[in-house]
Amino acid sequence: MISSIHAASMLGPTLQVLRGRWFMVFASFLIMSGAGATYIYGIYSSDIKSSMSYDQQTLNTIGFFKDLGANIGILSGLINEVTAPWVVLAIGSAMNFSGYLMVWLAVTGRIARPKVWQMCLYICIGANSQTFANTGALVPCVKNFPESRGIMLGLLKGYVGLSGAIFTQLYLGFYGHHSKSLILLIGWLPSALSIIFLGTIRIIKPIRQLNELKIFNSFLYIALALAGYLMLIIIVEKQTSFSAIEYGSSAAVLLFLLFLPLAIVVREELSIQKLKNQSTISISMQEKPSVSAINAPPLPPIPSSPQQQPPTKRTSISRIADIFKSPKRGEDYTILQALVSIDMLIIFITIVCGIGGTLTAIDNMGQIGESLGYPRHTISTFVSLISIWNFSGRVAAGFFSEILLSKHRFPRPLMLTWVLLLSCVGHLLIAFPTPGSLYIASVIIGFCFGAQWSLVYAIISEVFGLKYYATLYNFGAVASPVGSYILNVKVAGRLYDREALKQLAVVGGAVTGNLSCIGHKCYKLSFIIITAVTFIGTLVSVVLVIRTRKFYKSDIYSRFREVGQIGTGEMPVGRNGNDGGEMDEEKASSRAAMDGNKQ
């Protein structure tokens, strides 16, 4: 008997932790930290190129299908609209494992050499799982924290941006410098994370805690410590040679920092459980409604309107017009209303120009480093730097844009404009390189790439509402592979191969499948064009700033404003957001009194 009581007393806090909102956030952090494997394509792309004997344009075509899969998430968004998040995560897990497993089997020669279209299909399927992980974990978190969506997006997308450096350190700890094994790690690890947390990720009634910002700040400090550690370990690895034990030890410290947010989760969930227990005892000790309340006269009936006009018949043309008629900004658009709106068109063009350019730089960073004469281990440093500053851009854009918006009504589209201008500097450093300039370029490009995603996703949620956010969020991401195909395949890949053929003609060598280009001319013209396209995207984003200036000057979160508080812990959000507080008790008592009078 005593053991059963003790077990029950332990079960309550355990369930509170495992079913709480903050544990769901922690689970989302881990899923997101494994959902950015596409950003380290530069590390293993050379293995694909050499083992398959591809030229640069073919390799960039495979990279395009990787980007296409990573950003075509409309299917995952539509599935999320009609199913639970765990279904989305389960589908993504299966796609990730099957797609990257086939790539690994092909690169290691364990299966017959696939055709180019088959390799494109494999990597597209594996990369498309990233959209399922993003949709299944990120969208519920944004809906569960509507008034902190900028911070939530910054942290979650920050972990996605950091995942490249995380994967690099884990594969060094598990496999050493055997980069082909990195593809296998990308195949099984994200799939395992999604499966483990299938029952954790879900939509929970929005409840805002008074210390919510403080909790998010604690998560931010841990994330910054993780990024700082990765930066430090990358610098140390560049200066010295690590043994297998040292790589394993660095991976262990990395895992500790990844799981450290769990301590904050347990503390907060146990605090919430304590407050709930106190609230339950307080409610049970409340007095019954007084006699005066029970004998109160009934409320007068609401008079009906004197003359109600019969509804007018509507033509099919008027119905179609209503479908395309957009509501006010900030209200819930339908999917069709959002897709045909001018604001979405502007956002789409901005992503094509801005993210398309930075993604081209990220995908080609390995070949850019080789063409400029950097050693192989330094190229891995560039990829890791991009990953860390990708994280920094996402977190900084999420937190600072939220603070500037809430305190000074500073519009997010204007911050997006400044980020696009900064990315032009990074592209110019690649077009006109100097000794060591590629380090600075990788930092700028990584930061701007991450910041653009946090800002774009927050803008979409604010302008078009949260009702169909899963689909609209993924539609915005479609613009990324469009820009990548134009700038990466048709511009960078083609111009690289053209310059490589010129160099080959000078030395009089035979044309082989594996073309290599050396020198600053390999990417000079490509990144001059990319800089010009990015600047056009900057000008387009200014149009969005002008169109939304009045909207961002208003209180855009007024519909989520809280209506009550529960002690010092939680306060409900929205008109129907009460979670068992005193306000519900008073309403229940009044309703009981009215029912008694009717009887």
- 3-state helix/strand/coil string of 324-340: HCCCCCCCCCCHHHHHC
How far separated are the first and last CA of the chain, in Å rounded?
A: 46
Helix (H, G, I), strand (E, B) or coil at 562: strand
Q: Which of 442, 450, 309 is nearest to 383 (CA)?
A: 442
Res 510: pLDDT: 58
Q: Are 29 and 87 in contact (CB under 8 A)?
A: no
Res 388: pLDDT: 80
Q: What are phi and psi of 208, to 5 degrees?
A: -105, 125
Q: Is residue 311 part of a domain?
A: no
Q: Which of 274, 456, 505 is nearest to 355 (CA)?
A: 456
Q: Is residue 498 part of a domain?
A: yes
Domain range enclosing 468: 18-273+332-553
Supply 95's token pair.
């796609």
Amino acid sitting at position 356: G
Q: Is residue 73 part of a domain?
A: yes
Going residue by residue through the chain, which has 599 residues, state the pLDDT in tens, using 9 for 90 and above: 445 444 445 566 777 788 888 999 999 999 999 888 777 887 788 888 888 888 877 888 888 888 788 878 888 888 988 899 999 999 999 999 999 999 999 998 899 899 999 999 999 999 999 889 988 998 898 888 887 888 888 898 888 878 888 888 888 888 877 778 888 889 999 999 999 999 889 888 766 677 788 899 999 999 999 989 988 888 787 778 888 888 889 999 999 999 999 999 998 888 887 777 766 655 555 544 544 444 555 555 545 444 545 555 556 565 555 566 678 887 889 989 999 999 999 999 999 999 999 989 988 888 898 888 887 767 777 777 787 888 888 889 988 888 888 888 889 999 999 999 999 999 999 999 998 899 899 999 999 998 998 899 899 988 998 888 888 888 888 888 888 889 988 899 889 888 888 888 776 655 555 678 888 889 999 999 999 999 999 999 999 999 999 998 887 776 665 443 433 344 444 433 334 333 343 444 444 444 444 43
Res 456: pLDDT: 92
- Burial track 481-490 (b if 16+ CB lie within 10 A, e otherwise): bbbbbbbbbe
Q: Is residue 326 part of a domain?
A: no
Interacting residues of 383 by C-beta distance below 8 A, sequence separation 6+: 39, 40, 42, 43, 164, 168, 365, 366
Q: Is residue 571 part of a domain?
A: no
Q: Is residue 547 part of a domain?
A: yes
Res 487: pLDDT: 92
Res 386: pLDDT: 80
Domains held by the chain: number: 1
Distances, alpha carbon 110 to alpha carbons 102, 103, 116, 327, in Å: 9, 10, 17, 55
Res 87: pLDDT: 94
Supply 41's token pair.
């394509």
Q: Is residue 25 part of a domain?
A: yes
Q: Is residue 575 part of a domain?
A: no
Res 588: pLDDT: 41
Q: Are 460 and 476 in contact (CB under 8 A)?
A: yes
Distances, alpha carbon 402 to alpha carbons 397, 408, 561, in Å: 8, 10, 16
Res 297: pLDDT: 54
Res 594: pLDDT: 43
Q: What CATH number is attached to the domain comprising 108?
A: 1.20.1250.20
Q: 209: part of which helix (H) or strand (E)?
A: strand 207-209
